[in-house]
C-alpha cells in the first residue's frame, strides 16, 4: 500500500498522560534505541504483527472520537517506537485532519535534527523521554549516545518555546537514582525546560 506504515497498536481515550485533552495514541513500529527495559519491545522486533495503515486509513480509524478531541482540545498522540522516523506520514495526516485536532509526539529525540525540525509546524506538543542527561547512564541504558538528544532539545525549545515541550525524567531502577534525576533536571532547567514529568519505569525489579 502506498504511504502505509506499520503500527504496533492504538489506545483510545488517553487523558493528559499522552497529550492534552482526550487523545488517541497511535504507536508506530521501529525505534533507533535499544532500552534495557523497553516498554514496547514488539516495536523493535522484526516480524512483529503490525497493522499497516495509510494516513487516510488512520484518519478513518480515529475520527469517531472527533467530538471528544474538539471538546477537550485533544487529538492524536504519535508514539512508538519512534514517531520522528515517520515525518512524511505525520505531514500527510495533518493535511487530512486539518488544524483543529492537536497532534503530539512521544519521542526520545535521538534522531537527526532535520527530522525534528521538519515537524515544528505540524506538531502541537512534544513529550520527550530524556532518560538521563548523564551520557554514561544514557548509554548503559539505551546502548546509544545522547549528545544529539540534548542538542535537538535545545534547538527545539529555541524554535517552539518551552510550553510546547514536556520532558520526562524517569527514575530507572538499577541505572540512575534520585540524585541523578535531580542533576538531570538542573541541567535541563539551564537549557530552558520548564515542564517536567517525573515517573519511575516499571521493570521486573519493581513490579
Ligand atoms: S525509546 Fe521506547 S520503544 Fe525505543 S527502545 Fe526505548 S523504550 Fe523501547
Distances (CA, A) of 7 to 11, 22, 42, 132, 201: 12, 20, 10, 27, 23
Ligand 1 pocket check for 81: Cβ under 6 Å: yes
Please state, in angstroms and rounded to a whole number, the distance separating the CA atoms of residues 144 and 104: 24
Confidence class for position 79, pLDDT limits 50, 70, 90: very high
Provide the pLDDT for residue 47: 76
Domains of the chain by start residue, with CATH: 52-200 (3.20.20.70)
The Å distance, Cα 70 to ligand 1 centre, comes to 30
The Å distance, Cα 134 to ligand 1 centre, comes to 18
The Å distance, Cα 71 to ligand 1 centre, comes to 32
Which residues fall within 8 angstroms of residue 124, CB to CB, at 6 or more apart?
A: 75, 102, 103, 104, 164
pLDDT tens-digit map of 18-68: 556 899 999 999 999 999 988 778 777 777 789 999 999 999 999 999 999
pLDDT tens-digit map of 1-24: 668 999 999 999 887 555 568 999
pLDDT (mean) for 84-108: 97
pLDDT at 106 over 70: yes
pLDDT (mean) for 155-163: 97
Amino acid at each position: 500500500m502506498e504511504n502505509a506504515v506499520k503500527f504496533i497498536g492504538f489506545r483510545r481515550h488517553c487523558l493528559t498522560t499522552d497529550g492534552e485533552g482526550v487523545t488517541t495514541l497511535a504507536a508506530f513500529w521501529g525505534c533507533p534505541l535499544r532500552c534495557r527495559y523497553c516498554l514496547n519491545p514488539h516495536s523493535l522486533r522484526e516480524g512483529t504483527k503490525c497493522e499497516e495503515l495509510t494516513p487516510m486509513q488512520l484518519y478513518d480509524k480515529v475520527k469517531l472520537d472527533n467530538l471528544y478531541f474538539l471538546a477537550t482540545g485533544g487529538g492524536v498522540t504519535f508514539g512508538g517506537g519512534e514517531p520522528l522516523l515517520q515525518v512524511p506520514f505525520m505531514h500527510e495526516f495533518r493535511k487530512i485532519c486539518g488544524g483543529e485536532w492537536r497532534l503530539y509526539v512521544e519521542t526520545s529525540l535521538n534522531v537527526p535534527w532535520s527530522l525534528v525540525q521538519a515537524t515544528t509546524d505540524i506538531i502541537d506538543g512534544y513529550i520527550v523521554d530524556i532518560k538521563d542527561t548523564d551520557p554514561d547512564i544514557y548509554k548503559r541504558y539505551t546502548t546509544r549516545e545522547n549528545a544529539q538528544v540534548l542538542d535537538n532539545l535545545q534547538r527545539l525549545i529555541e524554535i517552539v518555546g518551552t510550553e510546547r515541550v514536556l520532558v520526562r525524567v524517569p527514575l530507572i531502577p538499577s541505572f540512575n537514582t534520585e540524585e541523578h534525576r535531580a542533576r538531570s533536571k538542573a541541567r535541563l532547567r539551564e537549557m530552558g525546560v520548564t515542564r517536567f514529568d517525573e515517573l519511575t519505569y516499571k521493570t521486573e525489579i519493581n513490579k
